Amino acid sequence: MPSLKHFPWIKTGRKSLPRGMWFMEWFSECEFHGHKVKRILAASKTPFQSATLIETNAFGKCLIIDNETQSSELDEYIYHESLVCPALIIHPNPSRALILGGGEGATAREILNSNTIKKAVMVDIDYAILEFAKKYMKEWHRKAFEDDRLSVLVQDAKNFVEKTSVKFDVIYSDLPSPEKGGPAFELYTNEFYKSVKRILDRNGIFVTQAGPGIPSLFQLHEAMHATLSSVFNTVRSYFAYIPSYDMTWSFLFCTDSAKLDPLLCTGREMDDIIEKRLRTKLKFLDGAAIEGVFRIPKYYRERIKANRKIITRNRPVFFTTYAGLQRM
Amino acid sequence: MPSLKHFPWIKTGRKSLPRGMWFMEWFSECEFHGHKVKRILAASKTPFQSATLIETNAFGKCLIIDNETQSSELDEYIYHESLVCPALIIHPNPSRALILGGGEGATAREILNSNTIKKAVMVDIDYAILEFAKKYMKEWHRKAFEDDRLSVLVQDAKNFVEKTSVKFDVIYSDLPSPEKGGPAFELYTNEFYKSVKRILDRNGIFVTQAGPGIPSLFQLHEAMHATLSSVFNTVRSYFAYIPSYDMTWSFLFCTDSAKLDPLLCTGREMDDIIEKRLRTKLKFLDGAAIEGVFRIPKYYRERIKANRKIITRNRPVFFTTYAGLQRM
Amino acid sequence: MPSLKHFPWIKTGRKSLPRGMWFMEWFSECEFHGHKVKRILAASKTPFQSATLIETNAFGKCLIIDNETQSSELDEYIYHESLVCPALIIHPNPSRALILGGGEGATAREILNSNTIKKAVMVDIDYAILEFAKKYMKEWHRKAFEDDRLSVLVQDAKNFVEKTSVKFDVIYSDLPSPEKGGPAFELYTNEFYKSVKRILDRNGIFVTQAGPGIPSLFQLHEAMHATLSSVFNTVRSYFAYIPSYDMTWSFLFCTDSAKLDPLLCTGREMDDIIEKRLRTKLKFLDGAAIEGVFRIPKYYRERIKANRKIITRNRPVFFTTYAGLQRM
Amino acid sequence: MPSLKHFPWIKTGRKSLPRGMWFMEWFSECEFHGHKVKRILAASKTPFQSATLIETNAFGKCLIIDNETQSSELDEYIYHESLVCPALIIHPNPSRALILGGGEGATAREILNSNTIKKAVMVDIDYAILEFAKKYMKEWHRKAFEDDRLSVLVQDAKNFVEKTSVKFDVIYSDLPSPEKGGPAFELYTNEFYKSVKRILDRNGIFVTQAGPGIPSLFQLHEAMHATLSSVFNTVRSYFAYIPSYDMTWSFLFCTDSAKLDPLLCTGREMDDIIEKRLRTKLKFLDGAAIEGVFRIPKYYRERIKANRKIITRNRPVFFTTYAGLQRM
């Protein structure tokens, strides 16, 4: 007679299977990550992107932009210190800073942490995302938006960079990936980087996030490195592992001043500057760690060396972490 | 030299990987279903349960109670017609109806669809879920809550059934599973079913949802069948496949009147009654379909026959679709 | 100072997260099911398809053909009894049977279970799958391949049906879905069904699996029903819920003999025939259950009624459970 | 009338949903990664562990031990160069090497790549895993097992280390995590590390893999660092990001010789040694990269500094990536 033992799979007493809402992030057609969602805190659709703020068990609050983890409450400091602080420390006297993008306000927060900064300008095209961040993401911007030194312009970054007559000591590109149809792909071209250079002061430093720092998704970094090397004398790659991305992220440090090469700075010198310049202590970086992040594995340096194709307005690239790089 | 071909997995040009938010439902430790979530529409935590209304690509709006799909916009009619209509059609003149639970209002809607109904009473312990349903789930209740024939009591069903002096022609139990620590497990006992019988009129019919109608999770149905058979003369199992559950669901039809045995009703007779009695047409059931749902596979009948253990207040059972049945 | 509490998600002591190998079945871009795999038992790639035999916690051994669950050790009897037995019981004296496809040998096993069968012919194009089944799937075919009444022909079913001069009492189509590029799509056309009818004896019955019996994937059934109705006088849909598919599956029963309409057979008559004709007892079906499976819900009958498009060689259809139906 | 539009989710024409076999790795109850499996190549259950060799789309062949990714064809060089090469380069003349564990043969391969090595001894308790690796994992060991300088002993590492009278220049611990009930947890104690030190030559270096280098799973590294610091004068943490693990992995470099501190070695010196000593070129490391891997982020250094609890035989720890650290 048919009986229960024919279907033996029920085990009783389990209290906590991974039931409920999950956020699924795909890194290719063959790799995905699932993050358990505790709560949906806020959601907004702007003309440029969709933003959702979730609470996860693993990383606290997480900002999801267009189905990609942007930053998390528990580890955003790793991304933002990495983007901001090396240039802020290596520059002899960073007084005027420009942020392209950076809507969460955490890039501004790290910049304003330096007592050398007199003026910071943030140019973000998406008014709605700024309002979203101001309202829901206090853990990110903290008091940054109330700091008199900060001006926020709701404007196309490309337009601003091409038109402004102001010069800056440090410029940060904290823009989304150059997605097809998205607003950012023209900001990843040789032409745009030339415009950026035009508004950089002598001794100025330009830093940009540069996509994933992992072998399977390294093509964007390679292409950006080649392109920036056609504009700046010194271009240095650096990496930081971001837990909520489940991967290493990459950055590029660009300057025309040979003296400002991060590979020539010692940890001790940088620790002294941190001590003098920064108001609150860093959590992820200090002198030794900055030495470390710029000394990337040979594998990646060889890939960078082998790639000489420059991104131009006529031959742009498109990139997402789930579809990789496409060249037009 | 290391090169891209070492990591060959990036294929470009994919527009629509299954990225983003998913609702994961577990049917055991070894089986789960993932439902893509389009939007989160509303969420509420009541003293008794948590309710989330999501929009899915596959089933439209879905009500999730405590991490289990409760019903979906596109197929709730299957569940609610199945629960309500057989008794409503087979009873000679269903005039007074009682609903235990049924917060979404769709059980009431189906009952009020019969022009024989003069009075329907709905007893649900969870005021907040009623408000939630009224506000967000109009596709379910439609005009039911505005119908003068309906009274809604926010009260413990057990208390109501034990105390009331009113009698009913049809009583429906649309309660959640008897979860440990939950409010419902005492409503799945021999003692409670006796109280129900006390307030059923002669010729009265009691119908209850009875858990999954699939082999691996059939233990709740077996136990309920045995228990109800110790209270009622005629107890009939019936099934309906619910797409948004990815499984067949089961119901039990109980009466002391031998004439009202569903296995003796012909489709033709039932079609005549439907024609006369019901205001709007049914979508899932008609006479032939009702004949079909009561003729369940031999496999299940043999399992029912083999199980004689009765659920009592002292020996209750607990059940969830992910942990199966536990007997105290 | 940063500390562990920043990353609070590690809970110790869990022994059994759902780690390891999973088989993922997609029912659309927005719905998938995960089945935990205990072991991979065998794998084979034939010129026609890929076959993998896995052991799951939930369903014992499972045969996966081209990434779709084909049948499982624990519930294959539901599919095979449903496909085979109604015709075997309703036909007055089924003596000669033909099976198109059916490589696992379980369809043959159910046919040979009737003491009326003198000759069964099985035509399967895939020699390798037959060898695979013989070697690894004894729970399916049992002694069927050793039964002298069975002849197995490795041949294209279409070719056999068009050429043979033999006639059959019952013909079963146990073929894979009409996948694009697959070998089976021509066996789902008006032309092919006419060839089948040519080799059916007077009083003959043709039965075919007819795809999913669920709303979102019902298009194949509708199209097959319309097509078969253009060839046979009596065409009846019937359903059975298959646990390892997580869905109801559908079948079509076709005959030109008005007397053999399953809707006219009573359970009692069928039980008598089962008693006399079948050697080992059925587990899923008996007279009452066969009555039940043919009385399908109104919803599906209305969809069938509304669809009058016939599948022809020039206008074939293609179908998979993950991509639905495509019409050329 | 109900119609297809009620269930609108079927989109046709999709060729490549992520169907089929997946390997699911859990990093906590709330985080998992799915890796698409192309083929299962080999599986074996030894008295100590279960080993499966799969082929993935993303990483080529992958060795799975007890449901955890051990190493992949495409990135095993990152792990093995990181484990082996810093000590091999920093030691003045590494002539005798000992490997504890290391069944795949890739640790041996990297050691034998140095022309200074005269004798390498590998002690692995699991004969079956050695045979498995020899047979199926040629991409890992290459010619290592045929090298006359290598002796493989199938023996408990603890026993060997406690009993042998031989001394070594470099000792590598390439053992599995200290899982409860597993064979390795006693090899993560103060007592065992003292035994290791006993058989290290003057100027000897001990290197061990030290678990995940990510915040949420850093407890094992912290505990090992504290424990090794109670045995060795100089203990240095270092990290490498392993793509197939989706995380940074950590190592510990231990010596009593103050001159051999990796933080004092310059990239240039190390490049010279690599040039002279290593037969085939490294892919992941060179002098600059070794400088980089030892300069870990401040965050991790502070956590290491804060943890002073020593692991002893009486107070061992247990650790897995899915359950984190448990202290007895």
| Whether the predicted pLDDT of C1 surpasses 70 | no
Which residue of chain C is at minimal alpha-carbon distance from A38?
C9
Domains of chain A: 4-72 (2.30.140.10), 76-315 (3.40.50.150)
Q: In this complex, is the C-beta atom of C30 within 8 Å of any C-beta atom belonging to chain A?
A: no
Is C10 close to D323, i.e. CB distance below 8 A? Answer: yes
> What local confidence, expressed as pLDDT, does residue A328 receive?
64
Residue D16 CB coordination number (10 Å): 10
Give catalytic status of residue D174 as yes or no: yes
CA of A56, closest CA in chain C: separation in Å? 9
With beta carbons under 8 A apart, name residues in chain A contacting D241.
213-214, 239, 241, 247-248
Which of D35, D78, D247 has its CB closest to that of A31?
D35
Asked if residue C13 has pLDDT above 60, the reply is no
Looking at residue C328, its pLDDT comes to 63
**Cβ-proximal residues to A143 (8 Å cutoff; 6+ apart), any chain:** A109
Q: In this model, does residue B118 exceed pLDDT 90?
A: yes
- Look at residue A197 in the predicted model and tell me its pLDDT: 98
**Residue carrying the six token digits 């022994």:** C15
Say if residue C209's pLDDT is above 80: yes
Residue C137, both tokens = 């799937």
**Interatomic CA distance for residues C119 and C110, integer angstroms:** 13
Q: CA–CA separation, B2 vs D74, rounded Å?
A: 10
Residue range A22-43: mean pLDDT, rounded: 88
Best residue in D23, D30, D265, D284 for a mutation probing chain A (most A CBs within 10 Å)? D30
Q: Looking at beta carbons, which residues of chain A come within 8 Å of D33?
A: 31-34, 246
Q: How confident is the model at residue D250 (pLDDT cuts 50, 70, 90)?
A: very high
CA D31 to chain centre: 22
Tally of CB atoms within 10 A around C310: 17
Q: Is the pLDDT of residue C5 over 60?
A: no
**C244 and C33 in contact (C-beta within 8 Å)?**
no
CB B205 within 8 A of CB B260: yes
Question: Looking at chain D, which subunits does it touch, using at least 3 CB pairs closer than 8 Å as the criterion?
Answer: A, B, C
Which tokens hold the place of B43? 């969420």
> What is the identity of the amino acid at B185?
F
From chain D, pick out residues whose CB is under 8 angstroms from the CB of A36.
Answer: 29-31
- D148-163: per-residue pLDDT in tens? 999 999 999 999 999 9
Evaluate if residue B72 carries a pLDDT over 80.
Answer: yes
Residue C4 has pLDDT above 60, yes or no: no
Beta-strand (E) ranges in D46-190? 50-56, 60-65, 68-72, 96-101, 119-124, 150-154, 168-174
From B64-73, B98-107, B150-159, C275-284, the region with the lowest mean pLDDT: B64-73
Instruction: Over range A25-51, report the average pLDDT.
Output: 87
User: Element (H or E) spanning C194, and its range?
Assistant: helix C190-198
- Please name every residue paired with C236 in a beta bridge, in sequence order, or none if there are none: C253
- For the record, the structure tokens of C60 come out as 């014992």
Report d(CA A149, CA A96) in Å as an integer: 10
Q: How confident is the model at residue B7 (pLDDT cuts 50, 70, 90)?
A: very low
Nearest residue of C to residue A3, measured between CA atoms:
C283
Query: Quick check: A6 and C74 CB within 8 A?
Result: yes
Mean pLDDT value across residues B280-288: 97
Gap between the Cα atoms of D205 and D199, Å rounded: 11
Cβ neighbors of D272 (< 8 A, separation 6 or more) are none
- A28:D58 CB<8 A: yes
Residues of D in contact with B18 (CB under 8 A): 17-18
- Two tokens at D61? 């062949």
Distance (Å) from the alpha carbon of A185 to chain B's nearest alpha carbon: 16
User: Which listed residue (C75, C126, C174, C286) is catalytic?
Assistant: C174
Q: How confident is the model at residue A1 (pLDDT cuts 50, 70, 90)?
A: very low
**Do A291 and A266 contact (CB within 8 A), yes or no?**
yes
Task: Report the pLDDT averaged over residues A265-282.
Answer: 97
pLDDT at C249: 98
Task: Give percent above pLDDT 90 in chain A.
Answer: 77
Q: Is the pLDDT of residue D305 over 90?
A: yes
Chain D contact set for A296 (CB, 8 A) = 289, 292
- Per residue in D176-188, pLDDT (tens digit) is 999 887 778 999 9
pLDDT, position D17: 64
What pLDDT, in 10s, does the model give residues B193-227? Answer: 999 999 999 999 999 999 999 999 999 999 999 99
pLDDT value, residue D181: 77
User: Distance (Å) from the C-alpha of residue C28 to the closest C-alpha of chain D?
Assistant: 6
A309 three-class SS = coil
Say yes or no: B275 contacts chain C, CB-CB below 8 A.
no
pLDDT at A17: 64
C77 within 8 A of C100, measured Cβ to Cβ:
no
- Phi then psi dihedrals of residue A90, to 5 deg: -80, -30
Q: Confidence class of residue C282 from pLDDT cuts 50, 70 and 90?
A: very high
Closest chain D residue by Cα to residue C66 = D20
Q: Which residues of A touch B2 (CB under 8 A)?
A: 215, 299, 302-303
Residue B15: pLDDT over 60: no
How many residues in total does chain C contain?
Answer: 328
Write the ipTM: 0.93
Above pLDDT 70, what percent of chain A? 95
Q: Does C25 touch chain D (CB under 8 A)?
A: yes
Rounded to whole angstroms, the Cα distance separating D192 from D181 reads: 18
pLDDT digits (tens, 9 = 90+) for D124-150: 999 999 999 999 999 999 999 999 999
The C-alpha of D187 sits at a distance from chain C's nearest C-alpha, in angstroms, of: 21
pLDDT in tens, C21-39: 899 998 888 888 999 998 8
Catalytic residue among A66, A174, A246, A261: A174
Per-residue pLDDT tens digits for D189-239: 999 999 999 999 999 999 999 999 999 999 999 999 999 999 999 999 999
User: What mean pLDDT is reported for chain D?
Assistant: 91
Are A295 and A266 within 8 A, CB to CB?
no
- Say what the pLDDT of residue A96 is: 98
- The predicted-structure confidence for A160-193, as pLDDT tens digits, reads as follows 999 999 999 999 999 999 988 777 899 999 999 9
Residue D70 predicted with pLDDT over 70: yes
Provide, rounded to the nearest whole percent, the portion of chain B with pLDDT above 70. Answer: 95
D18/C95 Cα distance (integer angstroms): 45
**Among chain D residues, CA nearest to C327:** D12
